[in-house]
Structure 1
Amino acid sequence: MNNLLIGFICIIIAYLIGSIPTGIILGKIWNKKDIRQYGSGSTGATNVMRTIGYKAAVIVLIIDVLKGVLAVYISSIISNYEWVYSISGISVIIGHIIPIFAKFRGGKGVATGVGAMMLINPFGIIGLIIGILTILISRLVSFGSIIGCISGMIIMLIIHLFLNNQKSYWDLIFFIFATIIILVSHHENIRRLIKGNESKIFEKNKKLK
């Protein structure tokens, strides 16, 4: 089979996996309501935590991470090319943010991006740790997510500038584009951070009833 066709198939599969609206499905099972009508309107774990509760948020977080893992893992089974893994990782993030199964209104892509990153280049976990520490200190999930993504990208740049002997840059390309996409998905959060009125992690919205 043609390599480009294989790559295209992997990208489509990844996008469809990313498009599975975990938060919406769980919200309807848990409270029979659309999570997007509450809180920030996002389908991600943070909004689920504020509007449904911590248990539901943990479930959504785990599944969203696994979506990223699954998308890249499937691409690694179908193809032997690094560019396919990286573009599939980008595609699953886009699917999570702009899901075809949820009228193109999804989450921010962070958890799914973490899952993809774990298979594409585990060194990105350093950025994840920095992001988690930032969240714990600032109590701002969006700020920690942004810092974590940027840190992961910078770490990958350093690795490729000083430690990379394989001369393959597809993992770096993934980190760069994933960071850009996630930053764009956080544009409203960035605006609120600048104004100083972004909600903190333990400030709950009105829960679903």
Structure 2
Amino acid sequence: MTALTILMFASAYLLGSISSAILVCRLFSLGDPRDQGSGNPGATNVLRLGGKYPAILVLVFDVLKGTIPVWGSYYLGLEPIDLAFVAVFACIGHMFPVFFDFSGGKAVATAFGTILPLGLDIAAILIVTWGVIVSLTNYSSLAAILSVGLAPLITWMLKPEYTLPVAILSLLIILRHKGNIVRLIQGKEPKVSQKNSIK
């Protein structure tokens, strides 16, 4: 492993550690999203707390902080397997941000951002899958869990060299959704349209 590869891993983690949800909520005087609603510093919770405009800002930044380090690593000539692990480190940064007491989100948008440079075809299938499930169920968490669960299979079919890192990332994201899974089973999971939700 080269020094450049290690540098890109570290850079991806640090960029991922910038919590756009917390910063946007501070900008709009919405409080800390980790203490409100679902308790998740992500776009869906910000949507409930502050509406569409703050949520869009969070979504765009979360996607970009996954896309930028992977694209940068590609242009710097990193090997495909290293590119995929740059994606993993960006998402780990979002989940466990060094700048915010290691208390972060679930990295769904950031993971999507990392997949964009790895394969637009994979990203398109996953976003369509997510959109269909949300439109049918109105559960963002269920859409995320099912889409992420399918990601390794779709990657194996289209870009097999990235399957292992994508599988690792999928497992991490699903584990971060364990509370959502319990609430879905209990029928207590808030829908996207709900303004308030339980932790």
* CA displacement 1:124-176 (0-9 Å, x = unmatched): 2202211111011100000001111122222122336xxxxxxxx44112321
Q: Tell me by how many angstroms 1:52 deviates.
A: 1.4
Query: After superposition, what is the alpha-carbon deviation per residue over 1:57-77, rounded to whole angstroms, capped at 9, x for unaligned?
Result: 011001100111111012223
| Counterpart among 168, 180, 183 of residue 177 in structure 1 | 168
Partner amino acid for 2:31? K
- Cα distance between partner residues in 2 of 1:41 and 1:80: 36
Equivalent position amino acid for 2:95 in 1: I
* TM-score for both structures, normalised by structure 2: 0.93
The corresponding residue for 2:147 is 148
Partner of 1:28: 26
Distance 2:36 2:145 in 1: 23
Match of 2:126 in 1: 127
8 A Cα contact 1:20 1:96, kept in partner: yes
Which residues of structure 2 form unaligned runs of 5+? none
Please, what is the CA RMSD of the aligned residues? 1.5
Looking at structure 1, the residues matched to 48 and 96 of structure 2 have their Cα atoms a distance apart, in angstroms, of: 22
In the TM superposition, residue 32 of structure 1 has moved relative to its aligned partner by: 5.8
Q: TM-score, normalised by structure 1?
A: 0.89
For 1:144, the aligned partner's letter is A
Secondary structure at 1:65 match in 2: helix
**Residues of 2 paired with 1:172 and 1:185: CA distance?**
20
In the comparison of the two structures, how many residue pairs are matched? 196
- Structure 2 counterpart of 1:199, which letter? P
Shift of 1:17: 0.6
Kept in 2, the 8 Å contact 1:68–1:114? The answer is yes
Question: Where does 1:51-200 land on structure 2 (aligned, <5 Å)?
Answer: 51-125=49-123, 126-159=125-158, 169-200=160-191
Contact 1:72 1:89 in 2 (8 A): yes
Q: Percent identity?
A: 30
